[in-house]
Amino acid sequence: MSAPAAFRSVTAGQLSILALLTLIWGINWPIIKLTVVEVPVLTFRSLCVIAGAVGCLALARMAGHAISLPTGSAWWIARVSFFNVTCWNIFAVYGVTLMPSGRASILAFTMPLWATAISTVWLKEELTRRRIAGLILGLCGIGVLIGGDLRVISEAPIGAALMLGAAVTWGLGTAMLKVDRPVMSTMALTGWQFVFGGIPILLLTLVIDPMPKLDLGGAAAFGVVYNMLACFIFCYWAWFKLVDTLPVSMSSVSTLMIPVVGTISGALILSEPVGWQEVAALLLVVTALASVLLPARQTGPAPATR
């Protein structure tokens, strides 16, 4: 099955999902920073993938969707989930521990560049002028945020490499979702990706951190629950839903708002500084999103009347 043709516009429902996804994932960056102070990172991620697998499959079953694996789909899901769940979570978690979390998130959200390039070459998706402009504007916004922190990034090259690895593997996994997708609901597919992609994470946790002692304060407990329910059930479902219904270039560019929200929420939650870089990045990213997500104006002669 080839990748579906690009849709001409974005529906109100898709915009609503996108807005919630951006808000929840964006706010989560400072929440993660508060949580991992008390919870070992692999234990944290293991709890999240277990919750995601159980929650998504249970919700799919409650909605009346089949949750059994279609014949011959296991290998496809294993490959996709390796990039979307395993690599993304492991690379991102270790990358965050080696560099400032806000700048790590910015590097992670260079994903649209990789996803757009992969989908253009591999899936032959149409790369319109508006999408090119949106991608350039959005990446300029991310570049403005990186700005004065190039020295910090250069001092943590392994952390930067891991975050870029997370971005590339997420982009590859996003493109893979469009090719030969098995016939099953998005919620069930999301749950099975957590099952397959979570196995390596659980094994690493058993080796590296087999007996964690958890005595959580209020902020860390909230962070664990927030990630398990909001991020690993709703947000992953929302992301795969957008990828399923939009071209890769469009869905991936939409994520450029997330690190901007993360930077602003970091200022509100953690009192991190906000200056002209954050404001300029916000304006660039909002312009990028408008160029990609708003429907194009119809041109041409007016229809004939009788």
| Interacting residues of 224 by C-beta distance below 8 A, sequence separation 6+ | 35, 39, 44, 47, 48, 216
- The pTM of the full predicted model, rounded to 2 decimals, is 0.78
Q: What is the pLDDT of residues 207-243, one digit of tens each?
A: 987 766 777 788 889 999 999 999 999 999 988 888 8
Q: Are 209 and 34 spatial neighbours (Cβ–Cβ below 8 Å)?
A: no
* pLDDT value at 136 more than 80: yes
Once rounded to an integer, what is the mean pLDDT over residues 78-94?
91
Question: What Rg, from alpha-carbon coordinates, does the chain have?
Answer: 19
Q: Are 281 and 141 spatial neighbours (Cβ–Cβ below 8 Å)?
A: yes
pLDDT of residue 124: 77
Once rounded to an integer, what is the mean pLDDT over residues 244-252?
73
pLDDT of residue 280: 76
What is the token pair recorded at 13?
Answer: 């429902």
